[in-house]
Chain A
Amino acid sequence: MTLADMKPGQHGRITAIEINQTSIVRLMVLGLVEDVPVHIENIAIGGDPIELSVYGSSISIRKQDAGQFAVMLDPSHD
């Protein structure tokens, strides 16, 4: 499962990252790295882009990039 498959309101944790583009490195510099808890805030009309939050900071990310981040859902938050 990747970030792209998560639904608004769901919590998860990044488990692995596929660095296939420079935009992925830019996302990592903003704090999207392994073992970090993430939360999907909103998905724009049309399903893309996705607004997610890490430690209270919101980041907008395209679905295509979100697909490079493997996640594990964290059901304890739901």
Chain B
Amino acid sequence: MTEQKEFNVGLKNIGIRRKPKATVAVIGNPNSGKSTLFNRLTGLRQSTGNFPGVTVEKHTGVVQLASSALELVDLPGIYCLGGHSADERIAVDFLLGRVTGMPAPDCLLFVLDATHLYQGLFLLEQLRELAIPTIVALTMTDMAKLNGTAIDQDLLQKHLRQLSVCSVQPTSGSGIQDLKLLLDGIGDLPAPEPTESWPQLTKVTRELSERSGGVLNRIQVVQGLLHPTSEFADQLRATLGTGKFDACSQDLFGDQPPQAVEARIRYRWIQKVLQQVISPAPTVSQLGARLRRWANRPWPATIAFFALMLLVFQAVFTWATPLMDAIDGMASALGVAVVGLLGEGMLSSFLADGVIAGVGSVIIFLPQILILFLFIIVLEDTGYLARAAFLMDRVMRSVGLSGQSVIPMLSSFACAVPAIMATRVIPNRRDRIATILAAPFMTCSARLPIYALLIAAFVPASNIGWFNLQGLVLFGLYLLGIAGGLATAWLLKSTALRGPKPSFVLALPEFRKPNLQTVAIKLMGRASVFLKRAGTVIFSVAVIVWVLAYFPRADFSADIQSTLSNQLNVEEVSSRENALAAQQLSQSWLGRMGRWIEPAFKPLGWDWRVSSAVIAGFPAREVVVAVMGTLYSVGSDADEASLSEKLRSASWPDGRLIFTLPMVLGLLVFYAWCLQCAATVATIRRETNSWRWPIFAWCYMTVLGYTAALLIFQIGSRL
């Protein structure tokens, strides 16, 4: 026995991976440090997926402990078990074992934020009814002390009875070892007794549960009583009879809404507990807290909000440039090296013009997209997005929405798909649909490549005051997107989706230092999504476009012979080769298709190459740049020239430049307003549960983009 024990210790030291023996749900209020703790416990041994049937992200990970391993499931932060939003529903459904294919958790790890004990204890009291072993991780005690509150942890433990409290600082990692020790024995912890805060509910629940013959357990009875329209309520009525159910309801709640009664009773108990547990600590007069309070004042905060947005767009342009130049240089060098190695031919053209030029022209935007995501993730992690919702509520109200729509719209700057999912916090369906249709107008990261390409090619990099002109133009395009989105929301809210003014209830988290690990994990996730797309969708499109542009081959042997025999000088050979390549391209399948659709886009000033690129971009808009990359490389032999140089020199057969200022502006506006994203269309379909809205959004945005580009080009060319 002794030997075996030593053997075990040895294995542990070399880091044996055990299979998880139980599932632990990690739950708490939003911004309680829940995800930070989850990341701290699981490290990189985590995976992100979706809950079955819905698009709420599910984070699971395994934590290895001294004698066991546990699977942790990080649930969305919630305030109560009676929520209406999809995030709240999925957390509750999972806890109650109602998610198909996912058994209910065996235990709970509750994250209790010491600075928000009041609301945390409310949720904890509700969760106690689940009657499964629960460990309470008390976080942010250092922050609470700075704010002037000392917490008597022993007294708190006394009030929470069977729930084991453990103080943890997820950011610094202190207390993690104690928590791991507790988690190791979580299976042996006693199930919590019913709440002390509401004896009458406990009594009624016990009685009803017994009467149902154990068919309904404690939490199911409680949920049934508190939510008279839920399926648990129906089950209760079925087993007990409607008369008994109504009598119990009347007893408990009278004529008041059950949740209001619950809030009154539970918070009264919580207040009593807090009066004993919390004592004022000597207030540390700190500059930081005062500064933060000042920064939250309406005017400074609003000005800071706009300054911050401007900074983001400046950063996207200026910080990324060195990295982008490096990637561009590498891609060009690679293309030249391939041609040098393989010589001219089909394979080298496929690799250099198809794969490298196509995929490379998208990969180059990785630095910009990561910088943008970095800002959005940091804003999320610091709790600033909710502050923005507060500040912008007034503006949103003027278009018939509320501040609640601000968070999805801001995250739409990164990507419309998660933004449309984020609209699920909006309780009213009309407001939600109006927000869903406004979100795709926001400039997402996939629009950045074409903006960046066209701006870098056609806007001089001069400075206006402190600002870079290119950054300002980019900022203008973002404003254009916002204007389009707000106008759309206003139009819808005053016609098809007319309804009562939405209410606005939102918990504002305190400003927090972002956690490096959390930010890094999220950023890496985003980078891998982008690179995966570049490797699959964009790669396939680039290959298809190359095939369409390369075949069928024209017979130029006579031309080449004459070129060789005529002893032309180098310049003439080069211009002759370019002409031949252009001839080849224009008689390829792609060229024929392009010329067939060219008339539709000619009024916008687009040649067939731009038109084909834009058409190819309807499934995913970042493809446009890849297609242009391929088209303009096949059409020229100057692989060393960057894509923006090629665009600048691109011309009509009669020698006029294609990319004139009105045409570029029109193209930018088209791009800003057009819904070129199959993923967004699919998400709108899923979230609105009908084809009506995605079809409307697609047609509306396409017509809007086309008309705007047409007007700008036609008017601009005549000025």
Contacts and interface: CB of A to CB of B under 8 A. Distances in A.
Among B80, B116, B267, the one with the most A-chain Cβ atoms within 10 Å of its Cβ is B267
Interface in B45-80: 79-80
A55 B390 contact: no
Interface in B246-285: 256-257, 259-260, 262-264, 267-268, 271, 274
Contacts of B394: 44-46, 48-49
A29 to B, nearest CB: 5
B508 A59 contact: yes
A65 to B, nearest CB: 6
B618 interface: no
Interface string A2-28: 000000000000000101011111111
A36 B256 contact: no
Contact of A44 (B263, B293, B298): B298
A55 B257 contact: no
* Secondary structure call for the B interface: helix
B581 interface: no
B267 A31 contact: yes
A34 interface: yes
Contacts of A72: none
B513 interface: no
B504 A58 contact: no
Contacts of A48: 393-394
Given A19-B257, A31-B267, A55-B117, A45 B503 contact: no
Interface in A31-66: 31, 33-36, 41-46, 48-49, 51, 54-62, 64-65
A1 interface: no
Given A36-B271, A55-B274, A31 B119 contact: yes
Given A28-B260, A60-B386, 13 more contacts: A25-B257, A27-B505, A28-B264, A29-B122, A31-B267, A36-B267, A42-B297, A44-B391, A48-B394, A49-B393, A57-B507, A58-B508, A59-B507
Interface of B: 79-80, 82, 115-119, 122, 144, 147, 149, 256-257, 259-260, 262-264, 267-268, 271, 274, 293, 296-299, 301-302, 386, 389-391, 393-394, 402-403, 427, 503-510
28 contacts: A22-B427, A23-B503, A23-B505, A25-B260, A26-B505, A28-B259, A28-B263, A28-B264, A30-B79, A31-B122, A31-B263, A35-B268, A41-B296, A45-B299, A45-B302, A46-B394, A49-B403, A51-B508, A54-B118, A55-B116, A56-B116, A58-B508, A59-B506, A59-B508, A60-B504, A62-B503, A62-B504, A64-B503
